[in-house]
Amino acid sequence: MASVAAQYGPFATAQITVPPGNGFNGGFIYYPTDTSHTYGAVAIVPGYTALFANEEAWMGPRLASFGFVVIGVETNNRNDYDTARGTQLLAALDYLTNSSAVRDRVDRNRLSVIGHSMGGGGALYAATQRPSLKAAIGLAPFKPSGNLASDNVPTMIIGGINDTTVTPSYLDGLYPTLPASTPGAYIQLANADHLYFTRPNDIELRSQIEWLKIFVDNDTRYTQFLCPSIKDTTGIVRSSVKCSTIPSGGSTPPSSPSVPPSSPPSGPQRILGSQSGRCVDVPNATHDNGTRVQLYDCNGQANQQWTYTSSKQLTVYGNVCLDAAGSGNGSAVQIYSCNGQPNQQWNVNANGTITGVQSGRCLDVWGTGNGQQFQLWDCNGQANQRFGLS
């Protein structure tokens, strides 16, 4: 799982230009270059009189790096109101899934929308028109076409406490019109004016990623960042999250493995990812302490040969250990000179998981491509946490 505090996620990305047509005025697509699986998608539209290229383009590569295909929409008319912008968001998603050059990378059942200002109103309008959307995010949204009474799509609204255009009082009135049964979150950011969202910032992005991961990717590991209350309130003045409507996700690791450790073969072995078919690898065969391990095509070299010892260490090169840099979710897994500490002890379990003796958390990797880095995360039974020594 990627850290929500990071500026960029684990995926390498690329960008292509979209020509005008297909119901909107063209734009840009940002996408992960890893072709091993499909991704959820998000369409983004700018505010009144604005251009995506000038104001929201910063979001494209950053969201894509967290495992989303992103299409940035230029509008047919820069004076379009919310309904027109929402209609163009849906047209862009249709183009993305049916005609675009990256349509084979998109899971058409996991689509979402984001917009700023009048475009934020457009995103909320799109949610009322297409209830199959998985998520909608309005950034200082202005919605002159009406309230949210018919919105059944999980909706996040983010405002700026210093916004004099779409004021906190306006959003204080809009958000409560979301039906009680619809998952919702409302956040007001400190020191944020109306154009705050058009400038690169980590606070806004963090909230977006949490919402998209939960509802577009169905990854409930991210629920803990929002419920029972927002975990990282840096830059947030106030917030309201309808946690009763948000899927729960386990955040407390067991004190010991829930399955018994197995007895892996002795001697050097490769550690093979069940999901990826790739090996746990020390980049560039380095011996440097603190080097984070990665997935890489299996090649039989010494930097992919691990020995599970009687003291529960996983060693490479004979005297270097697999090491957890911390015990919390997202802690880096790296190599370090063996020192006998519990953060270098691992249980290799019969169900395919490898759990840290100190943390009780699982060896975890987000993604399946070469170069994906390892971390600790709460054990959840997913394939990205299962490995075999062979």
Whether 3 shows a pLDDT value over 70: the answer reads no
- Is the residue at 126 inside a domain? yes
**Is the Cβ–Cβ distance between 345 and 356 less than 8 Å?**
yes
Residue 266, domain member (yes or no): no
Q: Please list the active-site residues.
A: 117, 163, 194
Tell me: do 335 and 381 sit in the same domain.
yes
Kindly state whether residues 44 and 141 are assigned to the same domain: yes
Identify whether residues 313 and 367 lie together within a single domain: yes
Q: Residue 260 domain-assigned? A: no
Give me the chain's average pLDDT, please.
91
Give just the sign of the alpha carbon dihedral 185, 190, 194, 197. negative
Q: From 227, 245, 263, give the residue that closes a domain.
A: 245
Q: Which domain holds residue 326?
A: 271-389
Q: Which amino acid is at 103?
A: R
Per the rule left: phi > 0, alpha: psi between -120 and 50, beta: everything else, 328 is beta
pLDDT of residue 5: 63
> What would the pLDDT profile of 223-256 be if each residue is shown by its tens digit?
999 998 898 899 999 999 999 899 876 433 333 3
Do 153 and 113 lie in one domain? The reply is yes
Same domain as 229, residue 102: yes
In a domain, residue 259? The reply is no
Q: Are residues 194 and 343 in the same domain?
A: no
CATH number of the domain to which 368 belongs: 2.80.10.50
Residue 251 lies in a domain: no
- Segments of 208-278 assigned E as strands: 236-241, 271-273
Residue 58 lies in a domain: yes
pLDDT confidence band for 181 (50 / 70 / 90): very high
For the chain, the domain total comes to: 2
Give a yes or no: residue 3 inside a domain: no
Q: Over range 308-321, report the average pLDDT.
A: 93
Question: Quick check: 122 and 75 in contact, CB under 8 A?
Answer: no
Residue 133 lies in a domain: yes
